[in-house]
Amino acid sequence: MDTDQTAGRQGNGDPSAEGPGTTSSTALVRLVLVAHDPGDWFEEVLTAIGAQDHSGLDVLVVDAGRRKGLVERVTAVLPWAEVATAPGDPGFGEAANVALGRLEGAAYHLFLHDDLVLDGTAVRRMVECALESNAGVVGPKVLDGSDPRHLEDMGSWVDRYGAAVPRFEPGELDQGQHDADREVFATSESALLVRSDLFGAIDGFDPEIRFLDGSLDLCWRARLAGASVLTAPTAVGRSVGGRRTRRRRTDPQRLRPRHKLRTTLVNQDPVHRGAAVAELLLATLLGVAYGLLVGRFRHVRGLIAAWPWNLRRLGSARARRSTVDHHFGGDQARLYVRHDVPHRSFHRAVTGGASVGTGSEAPSRLRLHQLWSALLGPGGIALLVGGAVLGFGSRHLLTRGLPDIGRFQAVPSEPFDLARSWWTGWRPTGGGIASPPNEGMAFLGFVGQVFPWSGAVLLAAAVLAAFPVGAVGVWRLVRPIGGGRSRAVAVLTYLAVPLPYNSLAEGRLAPLAAYAALPWVAHRLAVAQGVVPYGRRGGDPGPGERLGGLWGEVLVAGLVLAVAIGLEPTVVVLAGVVVAGLVVGSLLAGSLAGVPRLLLVAAGSAVVAALLHVPGLDRLPGGDLVAAFVEPGTWAPADLGIAAILRLDTGSFSAGRLGWALLVIPVLALLTASGWRLALVVRAWLIAAGGFGLAWVLDQGLWSGPMPAAELVLVPAALGLAWAAAVGAASIGVGVYSRAFGWRHFLPPVAALALLAVVAPVVESSLDGRWGLPPRGLDASLPIFGDEGGTAYDESRGGVGRVLWLGEPSILPAAGVALDDGLAMALTDGVPGLLDQVPFRPIDGPGIQQVRTAILEVLEGRTSRLGMEVSAWGVQHLVVVERSAAAPYAAVEPPPPDELLAVLTRQLDLERVEGLNRSVTVFRNTVAEPVHAVVRDRTGSAVPVAVDRTAWDRVEVVPPVDGSYRAMVGPSGWWRLDPMVGSGPVDEEVGPFPTARIVAGTRVAVVLESDMTSRGVRTRQLALLFLVLLATSWAHVGRRRRRVDA
């Protein structure tokens, strides 16, 4: 190493030229300044050094950079300083180790980075601290150079893997709060004063640690040698030149993993070292997976590169380890246990997260504090109150389950069958159809596997979850608009609309799913438009908004839309209403800002959602698209009327004239808001108008296809009103009381009264604990099925008999297919279950198709033996449903189809079952045949076989007589005979026509044909989902984003 003595220490009147180290009465400090091509700030650093009031200071500047001219810069400021050149672009540690050869003559060595500006007393204070406390290492308090009110570095602790853990949160103000506790594990990285003998004893800095963590490693070894490490709070420095971590050569994601492993290998005692290395290896594996998932590729590279880097340096590690062992005198366990929280250390090692929060400032605790702060605001209180009222009002439903009305039917005894059905694409409903349940059902099946309570409670919880999910969605949607008051109004308004309660009373799943999902979709669309307060267009974004890039928005919106579609496919239409409302609303508000981006994101998200629902897409070419996703419904023209539509008054849960109060706050918002709030309320009103318009079109009978429920199409209206109400709450009271008394002063009390009127019916309805639902559903009317389905529904003998349900679609206990105006039919295996509740088309299965044809013939008077027509499909009973629940409970009671009962009564092979509740009329099929049977050669009669269901997709049958096996299970080609040991050469498709001959007593298996099922499609769907999630994570985590905190 070359050195240049730039000047002597003679005084010339200039303090910077004269130098402070002229007296020997105080401890001589040799300041070693390592310069790596410093920037413009370097002169300030040098000037500060020259201004130190410590009397014995010797300065050595080590030029570790590549650029020329450092000597001149030093000479210009500190002509007396010595400059040494460290060739080969060494790191900080190696460059600073130049002091090892110059330990004599100085009691302390102060190692300094080239971007720290010391206060004039800093060196003296550190020396005083070292002398007072007999400390081995002392560091200064480092403040943020750009804003000296904030702390930047004040020493750190260390976790079990050798990661430095700062003592404070980033951006924390310096208020002396950490000054009292001077002991640290490692001092500041920028400056550390080390006793010279100690520095020599521990062999200086580790030259392999070039940047970052050099101080930590040195302090660790100093502590191992028995020295104490302190921060001198009165010694202050300022970091200039930008944060070091932003400089490429000190990239922590690259350096920290290798340094952690290095310090662990060198400084840990043998007992902990092995465990720590093993844990770091596991953390590396998990971290690599995590980094790949979230798109943090530099983190991945850093983790992976740490191992070969350290393996190549095992020799030097051993050498340094011997030095540590030689000087070992400290209590290693004590070193890091004080602030070590193992799971958090491991989490940091895996995620590469910032080393903060080992103490009371833990991120999770901070998030908890933030959550509590939010919950205790008006919006949070609205959520809590809403939750309390909903919980109170739902108490009997949650504890006793939902009554069996409409779509609320029992979860299968094996809940995972929901997921199996989704996976295979086959359902037993309708005699066996190639139409899987939606993803929501499949998810419920997964949850049911681990749900500790009964299926009834699971179903109730899933259905009632629509309320909190929808409320939280609205809460998030309106969060940027204003304070907690607007959130409270929006949440309460959304929770108080009659739609979900009427959906509950009518047993409808689709509107509840849309009610829960649409606010989330609308939020993504609003963010996609990016207009204030959801973005920067037109002003500053509101609190809580994360602004992402275009592709990130497309992916997130697509994912949200896909999830919503998974719950209820018709949400697509409602999302279209929201998009249209935003676009037209923007136009009417006078600005098209963000509309192209909105349309782009909407289109892109639709593509993403479509990709994630590939199995649904394959149904598009089959025609009858609406019927595939919308269950048939009835809607008599002008049944609702405009007044009811505007009040969202669709059923038995009605506030009557009080329902008009729902419009008060949104109307006031439209009349009084201004600026961006007016633009937003116009958009919200246009969304509401879209919902109202859709309902009006259907109410007028202008749509001839399957009729969705009124509660479903009005969800956008409810959302728009809640959204507008939020704006109203934020704008109505603004500046009112600073004006002269006028009409505006009446607005807040009017709005409050309106909100009270909106909420009051819900509170009143909560008293019964069931939201008006009857304690028993349709099941109470059907004792013939018994608890276990009765003998006709004993699967072991010929399979489960089927039930043909006829009636108005919404009160049928299974999703049906349309027959005639106001009439639909469903076909279930015995008692209906949740698997029977998803819409499908007649063409999805031959059974439902043929039975439907037979029913249509009956309605047209073309047959008098319906029983025979449907007997082959194992129809044991026909049930005409006339009420949604058993009499005398309150129920939906649509006008019964007059002609239906008459024509069924006229059938010569149907026997009416008497003595039943008037909610149903049941006919027994006198000529029913078993589902699984062997057809005898001579008589042609179908003899039931013994059936043993061994799995979802496997049934084993044993015929009692010789004959040809026949299974009335659709669709054709999906089930086949699987040869079993000793059962003979049978391997054929099974279906309506007798195929394979089976000898009496032979046990054969009937299995779901794997080639026909949707397993491959589902695999691709899951793979696509994984890829989209990955891309979304990369797009969001990898991007620089800004979070506007509330």
Partner 1 sequence: MNAVRAPAIVALLALLIGAVVFAVDPGAPLLADGPVPAVAERSASDGSADVWFCQGPTPGAPGVDDRVVALTNPTEAPVEGLITVVDEAGRRVGRTYQVGAGERFEFRPDPFVPDGRFAAVTVEVSEGGLLVDQRIVGDGSAGRDVEACATVTSAIWRHPWGTTERPGTSAILLLHNPFPGTAVADIRLIGDLGRRESLDSQGIVVAGRSLVAYDLTGRIADSEVVSAIVDVRVGQLVTALFQHGDGTSPNAWHGVDLSLGLPGDAGRLFLPGPTVPGDRASVVLLNAGDETVDVEVVPHPVSGEFTVEPFRVVLRAGRREVLDLFGDGRLDGVGPFLIEVRSLDAPTVAASLVTRSSLGDESDPGDQGAVGLDVLSAVDHAATKWWVRTEPAEIGGSASLVLFNPASAGIAAVDLTLLPMGDADEVGSSAEPLPAHLELDPGMQVEFALPPGVVEVEASAPVVVVAHQDGPMGRTSFVGTAAVGTVVRPS
Q: Is 733 in the site for partner 1 (CB under 8 A)?
A: no
* Binding window for partner 1 (CB under 8 A); candidates: 105-113, 218-226, 321-329, 638-646: 638-646
CB of 552 to partner 1, least distance (A): 24
Decide whether 663 or 811 has the Cβ nearer to partner 1.
663
What number of other Cβ atoms are within 10 A of residue 435's Cβ?
Answer: 24
CB 1003 within 8 A of CB 463: no
Three-class DSSP category at 85: strand
Pairing of strands 137-144, 151-153: antiparallel
d(CA 671, CA 687) in angstroms, rounded, equals 17
Positions in 537-566 near partner 1 (CB under 8 A): 537-539
Answer for which of 23, 700, 1010, 1019 binds partner 1 (CB under 8 A) is 700
Helix (H) or strand (E) holding 186: none
CB 445 within 8 A of CB 496: no
Q: Is 960 in the site for partner 1 (CB under 8 A)?
A: no
Q: Is 592 in the site for partner 1 (CB under 8 A)?
A: no
* Closest to 80 (Cα-Cα) out of 63, 108, 62, 58: 58
Q: Is 910 in the site for partner 1 (CB under 8 A)?
A: yes
Q: Is 686 in the site for partner 1 (CB under 8 A)?
A: yes
What number of other Cβ atoms are within 10 A of residue 24's Cβ?
Answer: 9
CB of 691 to partner 1, least distance (A): 12
Q: Which two tokens stand for residue 917?
A: 């509740």
CB of 670 to partner 1, least distance (A): 7
Answer for which of 532, 571, 803, 831 binds partner 1 (CB under 8 A) is 532
* Binding window for partner 1 (CB under 8 A); candidates: 124-132, 424-432, 633-641, 703-711: 633-641
CB of 717 to partner 1, least distance (A): 12
CB of 548 to partner 1, least distance (A): 21
Number of residues that bind partner 1 (CB under 8 A): 56
Q: Which two tokens stand for residue 633?
A: 């419904």
* Closest to 84 (Cα-Cα) out of 98, 69, 73: 98
* Binding window for partner 1 (CB under 8 A); candidates: 297-305, 354-362, 695-703, 943-951: 695-703
Decide whether 561 or 663 has the Cβ nearer to partner 1.
663
Answer for which of 274, 342, 622, 701 binds partner 1 (CB under 8 A) is 701
What are the residues whose beta carbons fall under 8 Å from the beta carbon of 536, sequence distance 6 or more? 530, 547
Answer for which of 237, 455, 585, 720 binds partner 1 (CB under 8 A) is 585
Phi-psi map region of 786: left, alpha, beta (phi>0 left; psi -120 to 50 alpha): left
* Binding window for partner 1 (CB under 8 A); candidates: 572-580, 693-701, 787-795, 870-878: 693-701
Decide whether 426 or 692 has the Cβ nearer to partner 1.
692
- Read off the amino acid at residue 156: S
* Closest to 755 (Cα-Cα) out of 414, 385, 405: 385
Residue 372 burial (CB < 10 Å; 0-12/13-18/19+)?
A: exposed
Q: Is 671 in the site for partner 1 (CB under 8 A)?
A: yes
Positions in 801-830 near partner 1 (CB under 8 A): 821
Alpha-carbon dihedral 49, 52, 57, 60, rounded to 10 degrees: 0
Residue span 489-528 as binding mask against partner 1, x where in contact by CB under 8 A, dash where not: ----------------------------------------
Three-class DSSP category at 822: coil
d(CA 618, CA 362) in angstroms, rounded, equals 49
Answer for which of 696, 703, 763, 1003 binds partner 1 (CB under 8 A) is 696
Decide whether 856 or 961 has the Cβ nearer to partner 1.
856
CB of 543 to partner 1, least distance (A): 17
Answer for which of 2, 40, 104, 898 binds partner 1 (CB under 8 A) is 898
Helix (H) or strand (E) holding 805: strand 802-807
CB of 905 to partner 1, least distance (A): 5
d(CA 873, CA 851) in angstroms, rounded, equals 8
Q: Is 635 in the site for partner 1 (CB under 8 A)?
A: no
Decide whether 744 or 949 has the Cβ nearer to partner 1.
744
CB of 535 to partner 1, least distance (A): 11
Answer for which of 911, 937, 987, 988 binds partner 1 (CB under 8 A) is 911
Percent helix, percent strand, percent coil in the chain, to nearest 5? 50, 15, 35
Residue span 396-435 as binding mask against partner 1, x where in contact by CB under 8 A, dash where not: ----------------------------------------
CB of 823 to partner 1, least distance (A): 13
Decide whether 767 or 902 has the Cβ nearer to partner 1.
902
Q: Three-state SS string across 759-802, please?
A: HHHHHHHHHHCCCCCCCCCHHHHCHHHCCCCCHHHCCCECCCCE
CA 974 to chain centre: 37
What are the residues whose beta carbons fall under 8 Å from the beta carbon of 983, sequence distance 6 or more? 1002, 1003, 1004
Residue span 640-659 as binding mask against partner 1, x where in contact by CB under 8 A, dash where not: -xx-----------------
CB of 589 to partner 1, least distance (A): 4
d(CA 193, CA 219) in angstroms, rounded, equals 11
d(CA 580, CA 267) in angstroms, rounded, equals 64
Pairing of strands 954-958, 963-967: unpaired
CA-to-CA separations, 429 to 708, 800, 933, in angstroms, rounded? 21, 11, 19
Residue span 862-891 as binding mask against partner 1, x where in contact by CB under 8 A, dash where not: xxxx--------------------------
CB 530 within 8 A of CB 537: yes
**Binding residues vs partner 1 (CB under 8 A):** 531-532, 537-539, 585, 588-591, 593, 637-639, 641-642, 670-671, 674-676, 678-679, 682, 685-686, 689, 692-693, 696, 700-701, 821, 857, 860-865, 898-899, 902, 905-914, 923-924, 926
